Structure formats: C-alpha cells, structure tokens
C-alpha cells in the first residue's frame, strides 16, 4: 500500500523530514543566519486558497494583511522585534483580475506600515489555484525564543484572549456555534476582525524584553498560538521533552465570551489568534505578568514525557485539540 501525506498528517510528515535538516531545525518556525553585522531570523509561510484563505469571506486587502502578519508573528515568537524585509511568491490563475493583486499588495503594505519591513522581491507563476508564499527576515536579538528552551520549574505565560479568530471564522461561514447562547454584537465584531486582521504580539515581546530581571540569563521558550493554545503548548513540550501543568481557571476569556464549557473548548483549540506563549523562570514570569496587563501565568513546566495535564491531574487529550489539518 502506498503511503500518502494525507495518511501521515502534518506532524508525522515533519518528523520524517527532520533527517534532511540539521538537528532541531524543524522544531522551530524560523531559521537562523549569522552574519558579520547582524544575526538574522528567516521564516517562510505558504497560504493556499480554500485552505488558508477564501475570497468568500475575506477581500484581497485582508488576505494581504494576513499574509504578512502571520509571518511577522513567527518572527516575534522567535524573539525578533525588528522586521527587515519580505519576499513574495505568487501563483495565480490566468484570469485573476489585476485589481485583486493590487489590493492584495495594498493590504501587505498596510501591515508593513504597522509592524515594519519592506518588500524586496519575489517571483510569480501561473497555476490553477491562488497560492501566496511569504519569506520574512527579521533581526535576531536576545531573547532567542525557541520551543526547545523550556526547563522544569518554568512558568507558562500567555498573552491576550483565545478563540476569537475561530469564532470569527464560524460567523463568516455561517457555521453552527458550540451552543445556542446569544452572543453580543461587540463579541461578533471582535471575532470577525480577529480572523480577518490578526494582530501579532509585538507589544508583548517588547514588554518581555524590558522586564527581564538583570540577574537572569536570556533563556526562554516561546511560540505563538497560531495552532491553538493547547496545540501550541504541546509543541513546546515535544521540543523541550517536558510536561505542562495548566490551570484552567487562570486562562483568560474575553469579557464577552460565553460562560459555557462547549465554548471553552473552542477557546482552547481555536487557532489563528497569534498571541505569545512563553515559558520563563518564575521571577521573569512574574515580572512579565506585572509589566503587561494581557500577560497571565497559566501553568508550569515539570519533568516527564511530553504531555499536558490540568492542575487537578486530569489529563488533556491532545488529539482532541489538534483542530487544523493541512492534509
């Protein structure tokens, strides 16, 4: 029987690709390049129509914004707050309107005006499906956040609220909500905006750098919550070979978020929220939570095989929280 990538799934595919790269490279979202003048972080993201974006729910400007900000988020959660440049690769059907392409780049420009960087080149080709590949370059300065840097005793800190983008997608596609609870117009607007115009946690990274106690080194583990809160913490546990113990009551919900266990499941597994998740020594974690209102300690790291549990020792079935499938 021939094995396909659909049979493997994304995680197993990446595991099999590890042998073609240097050790631990695939455990990170970026690559490091050290030069005489600067140390750089480089990231590439590929967005495919009807998998990562749809013109039925997002216009070209929103898609352009999202292409840039998703890459910026990977740089931010790796420690870069100085975004330098982008290269853009396009695959477009021959009947694509020029105005759509123009609006796509206008959305990219709006994101770069907000977060930094410039387009320095790229490539284009013709194909049956729209595809957008962005390669982003940022300057690497301490701390170099990496999923594999967590140690037992670290506190887990996350920023912002989760689940908003998932709710926004459901509202835009008329998907059935977790329950028939009525939601406010304020939550509706926040959710749709979170999905169409994600906002990377640049402010959070700058606050993290500013509050580091002088007595501590720059060691910290980090990722963003683009794959969902639980799935993103799982990535840290896998790369650092450790366990995470989470406090459900410490995970912040948006003030307008329904108080319902079914809605909490969406909050935990949602994805595309692009908040910062870090593990830090206790002193730094406490300083970070004081420095930034949206930063909250939600658990800690302990020794053990990669796993996640609630603080009442109830195990978390990670497979149930792996929402997004590329294949």
Check: CB of residue 137 under 8 Å from CB of residue 42.
yes
**What is the pLDDT, as a whole number, of residue 34?**
86
Please tell me the pTM assigned to this model. Answer: 0.92
Is position 327 within any domain?
no
Where a domain ends, among 110, 139, 168? 139
The answer for residues whose C-beta is within 8 angstroms of residue 46's C-beta and 6 or more apart is 52, 131, 132, 133
Picking from 139, 171, 188, the residue at the C-terminal end of a domain is 139
CA distance 74 to 77: 5
Q: Are 204 and 276 spatial neighbours (Cβ–Cβ below 8 Å)?
A: yes
Whether 202 and 290 map to the same domain: the answer is yes
108 domain-assigned: yes
Q: 221-224 and 39-48 as β-strands: parallel, antiparallel, unpaired?
A: unpaired
3-state SS record for the chain: CCCCHHHHHHHHHHHHHHHHCCCCHHHCCCEEEECCCCEEEEEEEEEEECCCECCCCCCHHHHHHHHHHHHHHHHHCCCCCEEEEEEEEEEECCCCCHHHHHHHHHHHHHHHHHHCCEEEEEEEEECCCCEEEEEEEEECCCCCCCHHHCCCCCEEEEECCCCHHHHHHHHHCCCCCCCCCCCCHHHHHHHHHHHHCCCCCHHHHHHHHHCCCCCCCCCCEEEECCCCHHHHHHHHHHHHCCEEEECHHHCCCCCCCCCCHHHHHHHHHCCCCCCEEEEECHHHHHHHHHHCCCEEEEEEEECCCCEEEECCCCECCHHHHCCCCCC
* 260 shares a domain with 180: yes
327 token code pair = 């294949």
φ, ψ dihedrals at 300, nearest 5°: -150, 165
Q: What is the 3-state secondary structure (H, E, C) of 63-123?
A: HHHHHHHHHHHHHHCCCCCEEEEEEEEEEECCCCCHHHHHHHHHHHHHHHHHHCCEEEEEE
End-of-domain residue from the set 112, 139, 166: 139
Question: What pLDDT score does 319 carry?
Answer: 66
Residue at 279 is within a domain: yes
Domains: count for the chain: 2
Question: What does residue 93 show for φ and ψ, rounded to 5 degrees?
Answer: -60, 150
Q: Do 28 and 45 have their domain in common? A: yes
Contacting residues for 36 by C-beta, under 8 A, at least 6 apart = none
Quick one: pLDDT at residue 15? 81
Residue 181 sits in a domain whose CATH number is: 3.90.650.10
Q: What is the pLDDT of residue 168?
A: 96
| Whole-angstrom distance, CA of residue 170 vs CA of residue 262 | 14
The single residue listed with the structure tokens 């978020």 is 257
Does 88 fall in a domain?
yes
* 164 and 128 fall within a common domain: no
Q: 213 and 89 in one domain?
A: no
Question: Is residue 326 in a domain?
Answer: no
Are 278 and 155 in contact by the 8 Å Cβ rule? The answer is no
| Whether 249 and 304 share a structural domain | yes
What is each CA distance from 172 to 53, 193, 269, in whole angstroms?
A: 12, 11, 18
293 and 173 within one domain: yes
**CATH of residue 73:** 3.30.1330.10
CA distances from 40 to 43, 58, 247 (A): 10, 32, 36
The pLDDT value given to residue 145? 95
Residue by residue, pLDDT tens for the chain (327 residues) are: 788 988 888 778 888 888 888 776 667 789 888 888 889 999 999 999 998 999 999 999 999 999 999 999 999 999 999 999 999 999 999 999 999 999 999 999 999 999 999 999 999 999 999 999 999 999 998 999 999 999 999 999 999 999 999 999 999 999 999 988 889 999 999 999 999 999 999 999 999 999 999 999 999 999 999 999 999 999 999 999 999 999 999 999 999 999 988 999 899 998 899 999 999 999 999 999 999 999 999 999 999 999 999 998 777 776 665 545 554
Q: Domain span at residue 91? A: 5-139
């Amino acid at each position: 029987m021939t094995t396909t990538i659909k049979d493997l799934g994304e995680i197993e595919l990446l595991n099999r690709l590890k042998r073609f790269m240097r050790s631990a490279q695939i455990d990170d979202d970026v690559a490091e390049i050290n030069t005489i003048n600067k140390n750089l972080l480089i990231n590439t993201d590929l967005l495919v129509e009807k998998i990562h974006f749809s013109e039925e729910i997002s216009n070209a400007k929103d898609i352009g914004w999202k292409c840039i900000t998703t890459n910026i988020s990977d740089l931010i959660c790796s420690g870069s707050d100085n975004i330098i440049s982008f290269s853009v690769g396009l695959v477009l059907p021959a009947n694509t309107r020029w105005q759509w392409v123009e609006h796509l780049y206008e959305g990219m420009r709006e994101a770069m005006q907000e977060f930094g960087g410039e387009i320095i080149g790229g490539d284009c080709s013709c194909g049956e499906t729209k595809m957008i590949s962005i390669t982003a370059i940022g300057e690497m300065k301490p701390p170099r956040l990496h999923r594999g840097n967590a140690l037992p005793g670290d506190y887990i800190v996350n920023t912002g609220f989760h689940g908003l983008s998932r709710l926004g997608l459901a509202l835009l596609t008329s998907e059935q909500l977790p329950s028939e609870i009525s939601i406010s117009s304020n939550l509706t607007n926040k959710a749709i905006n979170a999905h169409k115009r994600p906002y990377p946690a640049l402010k959070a990274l700058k606050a993290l750098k500013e509050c580091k106690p002088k007595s501590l080194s720059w060691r910290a583990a980090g990722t963003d919550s683009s794959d969902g809160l639980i799935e993103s913490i799982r990535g840290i546990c896998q790369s650092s070979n450790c366990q995470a113990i989470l406090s459900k009551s410490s995970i912040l919900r948006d003030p307008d978020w329904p108080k319902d266990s079914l809605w909490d499941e969406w909050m935990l597994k949602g994805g595309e929220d692009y908040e910062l998740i870090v593990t830090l020594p206790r002193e730094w974690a406490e300083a970070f939570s004081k420095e930034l209102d949206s930063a909250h300690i939600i658990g800690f790291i302990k020794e053990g095989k990669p796993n996640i549990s609630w603080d009442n020792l109830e195990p978390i079935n990670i497979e149930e929280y792996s929402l997004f499938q590329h294949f």
